[in-house]
């Protein structure tokens, strides 16, 4: 059983499309992070959320604590957005992180 589930697993979009990636979790959390892993393998943090919504450029992340759900949106997608997007939650019982299996996004020019 995974504490964190992401959907879809794979996503192909045309350049310019609006993209949504979903994350559901089953544990109590103190924070949720969205990460990006590029084909070269490096992992970087995009957002930390504990409530509400955050925006950074074309990326928007939302979280609904009651429903235990978060979404990552990409507006006006671009081929350079092609990467694996990973949802991670921090349990509220300690400093352990639980990770989703990732959503592989390919944006076609």
Partner 1 sequence: DAGITQSPRHKVTETGTPVTLRCHQTENHRYMYWYRQDPGHGLRLIHYSYGVKDTDKGEVSDGYSVSRSKTEDFLLTLESATSSQTSVYFCAIMGDLYIGQFFGPGTRLTVL
CB of 22 to partner 1, least distance (A): 15
**Which is closer to partner 1, CB of 16 or CB of 52?**
52
* HEC string for the chain: CCCEEEECCEEEEECCCCEEEEEEECCCEEEEEEEEECCCCCEEEEEEECCEEEEECCEEEEEECCCCEEEEEECCCCHHHCEEEEEEEEECCCCCEEECCCEEEEEEC
Q: Binder to partner 1 among 12, 26, 64, 101 (CB under 8 A)?
A: 101
Site of interaction with partner 1 (CB under 8 A): 2, 4, 30-31, 33, 41-45, 48, 50, 86, 88, 90, 95-102
């Amino acid at each position: 059983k995974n504490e964190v589930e992401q959907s879809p697993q794979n996503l192909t979009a045309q350049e310019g499309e609006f993209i949504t990636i979903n994350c559901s979790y089953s544990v109590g959390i103190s924070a949720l992070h969205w990460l990006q892993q590029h084909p070269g393998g490096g992992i970087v943090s995009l957002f930390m959320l504990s409530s509400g919504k955050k925006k950074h450029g074309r990326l928007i992340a939302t979280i609904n604590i009651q429903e235990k759900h978060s979404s990552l949106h990409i507006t006006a997608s671009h081929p350079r957005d092609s990467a694996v997007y990973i949802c991670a939650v921090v349990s509220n019982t300690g400093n352990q992180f639980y990770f989703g299996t990732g959503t592989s996004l390919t944006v076609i020019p």
